[in-house]
Structure 1
Amino acid sequence: MELRQLEYFVTVAEEGSFTRAAEKVHVAQPGVSAQIRRLEREFGQELLDRSGRSVRLTEVGTAVLPYARAALAAVAGARLAVDELTGLVRGHVAVGMVTSHGVDLPGLLARFHRDHPAVEITLTEGNSDVLAASLRDGRLDAAIVSLGTAPPADLDHLVVTDEAITAAVAVDHELARHHEITLDDLRDRSLICLPPGSGIRSHLDSACARAGFTAKVAFEAGHPLALAQLAARGLGIAILPDSVARNQEGLHPLAIVKPRLRGKLVFAWRADGPASPAARALLALARRTLGKEDVID
């Protein structure tokens, strides 16, 4: 019995597909299938039911799965113990980021790679709520997210940007003669926003709910610059980071008042701390290089 056979078996069980499992472990599908067949021959029982459209565990496979996971975890733990004793940092770190932000995350990851070339780095893009959930369940070690006005107790974070949330309209829009707009004035206006789950959208939706209405969102896009372009063409009022609203040709910014809204981007990680030496090394580098020393627990 080989560790790679257990790894392939666990991955197929989790993915429900030989194809997706092969992609995840970076091995050709026939190689994954062959190794699992050898594992099954060693047990003398089939571990996977291949008769349907998706791969499912047999009764024997269901019984074996927790032991396979425990064996892989034990080996990983032994390697980490050796790494910590020898000062060697290797392994894998998984990082997430929101779709658009002003944080020099590529620079941080490049410096980390130079310092620790043996560590594999993966980067995932998504909305703040999805990334936060991935931090909690261990799929990510760290992420650039917006955590809202009341950060959850199970995530610690380092504030990296903090700016106003601003409305913006085309320069020939009827509101372009103003410099401010109240939240209530947005009640029946067509808004152009980031999708639900993004940091700015969460701030806007929460503020509107407290004011007793639901934002009338006419257009959604995943990048602030796309929102700015839609607003510049007269399609509505874009809700943007202040730095974007004030630096796009064809846009007139409107400060949102009563109440004023702010959005914070943070470098976040689980409150119980990163699990691996590699992840802890990345966090230490982030603390030194992301610009602000105030870590909020």
Structure 2
Amino acid sequence: MEIRQLRYFLRVAETLNFSQAARELFITQSTLSQQILHLEQELNQQLFVRNSHEVMLTEAGEILLPMARESIHMVDNCVLRLQELKQLLTGELNIGVTFSFSSIMAETMTDFMRQHPKVKLSVCYSSMEDLIERLLRHELDLVLAFKPNEADPRIESRLLFNTRLAAVVNHEHPLAGEKSMTLEDLQRYPLVLPTKGLQARNAFDRMTAHSGLEYNLKAEINNVNLIFKFMYKTKYVTVLSEASVIDEDGLTAIPIIAEGNVMEGCIHTLKNGYQKAAAREFIRMVNESIAIWKTMAL
């Protein structure tokens, strides 16, 4: 069994499409099929069920998948460790980010790329749940996101800052001059909220779950940039973390006074796993980011 064959198997298992996998691997489909066949013969197990309509993993393929992923990860880390003996920051750094960390990300990314031009940054914006799953699959090196409600024993979460959930309005809104507001106050205004699953919405739903309060929800949007554009042009109210609006000059965040209204911004990495030198350097720079001090001062 060769590492190359495991890489081929992993790509087919993740795409469930031989043509697509071959394109992504920059080989011909016939070469890919031949290598998978050789792997199946060596293991004396069929790994895929193929027909004219679809490709599916067999039970043997399902068992091999996490082991293949872990083996490839270990080989890649071995290469990285040897490269880092030369004390060179090279290679690729894969970072997952939720929207509330945009200002921190922009600040650090600019400095990092200037200081370490040989490292390629790959940045993925998504929900916290999706990013954590990718981290566990070794697709990401680190994740910038708020701390989840339930800790995963496989993940280490290091605190960067604390922030609060806030009502967000444009500067012309009647609420713009308020210093704080309550959950009861929010009942009087039409709301445009992030969709369920996004961290700010999860935090809001937790705070209001047993309050007995009813809100005038007009829309749910799964893109924070679109929510911002909507806030600039309307008199609606949204609920986001204060950290989200650091660089939004036309918007005001009014802290919501409620029990449990603290969100912990963290860097998430895999516990007991090897950490690239580039990841260690990026984490150091994040901790020094001016944006963090802005957030902590809110």
Settle same-fold status: TM greater than 0.5.
yes
Listed as ranges, the gaps of 5+ residues in structure 1 are: none
Deviations 1:30-74 (A, max 9, x none): 625423414525848875433142223467767876775576355
Q: Which amino acid aligns with 2:217?
A: V
> d(CA) in 1 for partners of 2:70 and 2:128?
31
Contact 1:165 1:200 in 2 (8 A): no
Task: For 1:63-212, list aligned pairs within 5 A.
Answer: 72-73=72-73, 75-147=75-147, 154-160=155-161, 162=163, 165-168=166-169, 171=172, 180-187=180-187, 189-212=189-212
**3-state SS of 2:206 partner:** helix
> d(CA) in 1 for partners of 2:124 and 2:86?
30
Deviations 1:76-133 (A, max 9, x none): 3432342343334444322111135452424423443455444443211112233234
**3-state SS of 2:28 partner:** helix
**3-state SS of 1:211 partner:** coil
- Distance verdict in 2 for CA 1:284–1:13, change over 3 Å: same
> d(CA) in 1 for partners of 2:188 and 2:125?
32
- Distance verdict in 2 for CA 1:18–1:290, change over 3 Å: farther
Contact 2:190 2:218 in 1 (8 A): yes
Deviations 1:242-296 (A, max 9, x none): 47499665x7865533459454533332344554344333323333446659xxx
> d(CA) in 2 for partners of 1:67 and 1:246?
43
> d(CA) in 1 for partners of 2:140 and 2:77?
18
Contact 2:165 2:262 in 1 (8 A): yes
Deviations 1:181-235 (A, max 9, x none): 3202334753211222323222211111142446553212244453344356556
> d(CA) in 1 for partners of 2:178 and 2:290?
36
Give the aligned length: 288
Contact 1:8 1:36 in 2 (8 A): no
CA-CA distance at 1:141 after TM superposition: 1.7
Deviates more, 1:120-129 or 1:223-232: 223-232
Residue aligning to 1:267: 267
Percent identity of equivalent pairs: 22
> d(CA) in 2 for partners of 1:252 and 1:289?
22
**3-state SS of 2:122 partner:** strand
Contact 2:160 2:287 in 1 (8 A): no
Residue aligning to 1:49: 49
Are 1:6 and 2:6 matched, yes or no?
A: yes
Q: Which amino acid aligns with 2:279?
A: A
Contact 1:92 1:121 in 2 (8 A): yes
Q: Which amino acid aligns with 2:31?
A: A
Contact 1:12 1:21 in 2 (8 A): yes
Are 1:35 and 2:32 matched, yes or no?
A: yes
> d(CA) in 2 for partners of 1:206 and 1:198?
12
TM-score for both structures, normalised by structure 2: 0.71
Q: Which amino acid aligns with 1:128?
A: M
User: Over aligned residues, Cα RMSD in angstroms?
Assistant: 4.2
Q: Which amino acid aligns with 2:32?
A: Q
> d(CA) in 1 for partners of 2:68 and 2:62?
10
